[in-house]
Chains A and B, each alone.
Chain A
Amino acid sequence: MAKNDLLGASLWDAYSNKVTTLMNNPNHQGEITEAEAETHGNKLIVADFGAESCGDAVRLYWEVDPKTDIIVNSKFKSFGCGTAIASSDIMTELCIGKKVQEAVKITNIDVEFALRDSPEIPAVPPQKMHCSVMAYDVIKKAASLYLGVDSESFEEEIIVCECARVSLRTLQEVIRLNDLTTIEQITDYTKAGGFCKSCIKPGGHEKREYYLVDILADTRREMDEEKMKAAADAGSGGSFEAMTLVQKIKAIDAVVDENVRQFLIMDGGNMEVIDVKTSDEYIDVYIRYLGACNGCASSATGTLYAIEATLKEKLSKKIRVLPI
């Protein structure tokens, strides 16, 4: 939130002139019939994506020359808002003249780019990026029908955010490398989740297989586990300061058992470790005296120094022993 967000942007003012023009007068709106395609000796492919109940639906028509696999003509029908109609129109334009194998490489980002008036300024506001994704999906579907393969096979990676085409692997890497902890940070770093927002969490515009909230939580959990494992490894390697809290307490107990406790017991006393607190400067070991040690004059002086000196020598110079 800042000054520019105080007045919500006017949705339609953010559309490029191309979007406006094509919405008002789409060039490739219409249908191609089986008979037409046959007359030209071509194959007709018709693919649907979306549904009226979802808010947008598109039907893509391709007339493909079976000898060359070239899309010689393309039309569309669309149930959708202005940007959906404009995206569909530019999509058909991008398909015409391409081989099916080439057309399938057209992404929603290409569609949006083709709708721009100038290369630097987006053609649609962020929440409308989603409309161009439909174009991408329906092309894949048409290509899969023509080539007789599964449309999933065109996708090499798992795409989490379709609007910005950000893959699962990219997201995991960016979270790790930059130690990201919030969804806002993920959007800032990758643009994922910055458009239609469906991929952020369940309950958005459409159902997704992966959500940013889960990816963030899972990756953070993996990072924590790795950190813990690294600490455990470092601890068993002998580095006291790298140990986890539990490892530290165990190590302290072990040193006390071996070097201190026997002398305390001989005098009818004992001690126990209560807590360990680590700061940059010190590792504070809180202990409690038991039996005769409790109230013994030396417990605050000589005995205490002996315990601290032993722990310092065996474990870390940063240790301070504090009786409570």
Chain B
Amino acid sequence: MQVYLDNNATTMVDPLVVQEMMPFFSDMYGNPNSLHKFGTASHPAISKAIDQVYKALNASDSDDIVFTSCATESNNWVLKSIFRDYVVNGDKNHIITTEVEHPSVYAACKALEEDGVKVTYLPVNSQGIVESHIVRSFITDKTALVSIMWASNETGMINPIKEIGEICKEKGVLFHTDAVQAVGKIPVDLQDVHVDFLSMSAHKFHGPKGIGALYIKNSQKLSPLLNGGEHMGGRRSGTLNVPYIVAMGKAIELATTNIEEKMASIKAKRDRLEDALLELSDTFVVGDREHRTPNTILISIKGVEGEGMLWDLNNGQIGASTGSACASEDLQANTVMLAIGADNELAHTGIRLSLSRFTTDGEIDYTITHFKKSVARLRAISSSFAKVGPTLGGEAKECELHFH
């Protein structure tokens, strides 16, 4: 058996989605901008996909939802165009975001800092959640944008987007949310919450990689990131990626239809897995289940280094993820882990398991067995569980962790 539990990284494309997109590669391949019938043949399918996306998010017709290449593009578009429209060509100079954003927001903010923008990186509480009163306290009349993720990719923790939206509305500050980990996992209702901009990506909800979207409330001002042939009403140039747009429409429809039911089914499996893993001694899971996306577990296992654990899971045909610094190219301790970590150990012992609607009970059983076996093996090797202590004078010094 092999088990894929890294669905916060990417998901399998639903075969129904593949089926939907296939005709637009070699049959209806025309450029939708062309006047001839080859070009217009795909129009009904694109219109349908647009309807599917608007319906899934409960967006109004006066809003724009513009297809992009990915959420990284959507996030960069918002940040860089807000900089252009409200900082360079306006009187604002401040952006508020968090310490736990995805790199496509975090690194884009770092780049804007080099261009002279003041950026506030808000902390999260021990649950990994941004508290709305903290957002309020940092907004000034120079604040151009608040950008806060809806749910965390690492922990699954869900931020109080409705409250933050209300605060931004009241203060007259633009609000962007990176909803990559929310759309398709939990209900996202744009009539219920006030957000000005919202980023999403199809491959997180069983659509293909290479297609995402940006929601823009009331079709408001946001200068384009890509200039060119005035596609998507001039908001985002580049020939429409017809098969992928069709796929995204189908994928979001499949993910959001009866979402409560789907959530309950995933949550039941997730909770069963979590309960079983917490039977292991010296473990803990970040964040309470009620404020977490129903598919995510970030578990710390004392004495077991994250990459070592991934290795053993991989040997058992289980794909998971780690926030461990050791597994990253630059060995930097993970900022998200440090931001939430009451304990530095989590930065090196965290394993993230993320389920999907395709995860089966059999896979959960298999994972529980193999996970426990791996922990037992690695703890047997681990110095953290060694019995014979060091010779007098042979003790190690604690190290200092760096927070960049």
Contact = CB atoms under 8 A, between A and B. Distances in A.
Nearest to B309: A81
A56 B391 contact: no
A81 B390 contact: no
A53 B399 contact: yes
Given A51-B396, A130-B331, A78 B391 contact: no
B347 interface: yes
Given A29-B380, A79-B383, A59 B325 contact: no
Contact of A57 (B383, B394, B400): B383
Nearest to A81: B307
B308 interface: yes
Given A48-B395, A55-B331, A61-B388, 12 more contacts: A8-B329, A32-B388, A46-B388, A50-B399, A53-B399, A59-B390, A80-B305, A81-B305, A81-B326, A82-B311, A85-B308, A205-B331
Contacts of B327: 11, 81
A122 B329 CA distance: 17
A286 to B, nearest CB: 37
Nearest to A47: B394
Contacts of A47: 390-391, 394
Interface stretch (A99-107, A196-204, A233-241): A196-204
A202 B397 CA distance: 19
B332 A204 contact: yes
B58 interface: no
A315 B327 CA distance: 65
Interface string A77-103: 111111011000000000000000000
Contacts of A34: 388
A79 B388 contact: no
B395 A79 contact: no
Given A55-B348, A81-B311, A196 B331 contact: yes
Tell which of A47, A50, A57, A198 has the most Cβ of chain B within 10 Å. Answer: A57
Interface residues of A, number: 50
A29 B381 contact: yes
B26 interface: no
B389 A82 contact: no
B227 interface: no
Contacts of A260: none
A205 B331 CA distance: 6
User: Would you list the 6 A-B pairs with minimal beta carbon distance, nearest first?
Assistant: A54-B399, A81-B307, A48-B396, A77-B383, A205-B331, A53-B344
A84 B308 CA distance: 9
16 contacts: A46-B389, A47-B391, A54-B348, A55-B333, A61-B388, A78-B381, A79-B384, A80-B305, A80-B308, A81-B324, A81-B327, A127-B331, A145-B393, A145-B394, A204-B330, A207-B400
A44 interface: yes
B394 A48 contact: yes
A82 B349 contact: no
Interface in B278-318: 302-308, 311, 314-315
B35 interface: no
A203 B390 CA distance: 30
A207 B402 contact: yes
Interface of B: 302-308, 311, 314-315, 324-327, 329-333, 343-345, 347-349, 380-391, 393-402, 404
B382 A79 contact: yes
Contact of B396 (A57, A84, A206): A57
Contact of A56 (B305, B333, B388, B404): B305
Contact of A31 (B315, B386, B400): B386
Given A80-B326, A205-B325, A53 B394 contact: no
Contacts of B348: 52-56
Contacts of B343: 53
Given A31-B387, A82-B308, A127-B331, A46 B398 contact: no
A53 to B, nearest CB: 4
Tell which of A8, A55, A130 has the most Cβ of chain B within 10 Å. Answer: A55
Given A46-B389, A84-B305, A55 B394 contact: no
A32 B391 CA distance: 12
A58 interface: yes
Given A48-B390, A54-B401, A56-B305, A85 B396 contact: no
A59 B382 CA distance: 9
Tell which of A33, A51, A198 has the most Cβ of chain B within 10 Å. Answer: A51
Contacts of B395: 48
B402 to A, nearest CB: 5
Contacts of B396: 48-51, 57
A204 B401 CA distance: 9
Given A50-B396, A204-B402, A24 B315 contact: yes
A85 B381 contact: yes
Contacts of A53: 343-345, 347-348, 398-399, 401
A202 B402 CA distance: 9
Nearest to B379: A79
Given A145-B391, A203-B404, A59 B386 contact: yes
A198 B329 CA distance: 12
A154 interface: no
B390 A127 contact: no
Contacts of A52: 302-303, 345, 348-349, 384
A29 B302 CA distance: 19
A12 B308 CA distance: 11
Contacts of A161: none
A26 B401 contact: no
Contact of A197 (B303, B331, B388, B399): B331
A316 to B, nearest CB: 45
Interface in A17-43: 23-24, 26, 29, 31-34
A142 interface: yes
A84 B384 CA distance: 14
A186 B325 CA distance: 25
Contacts of A77: 381-383, 385-386
Nearest to A9: B329
A242 B389 CA distance: 66
Contacts of B311: 12, 23, 81-82
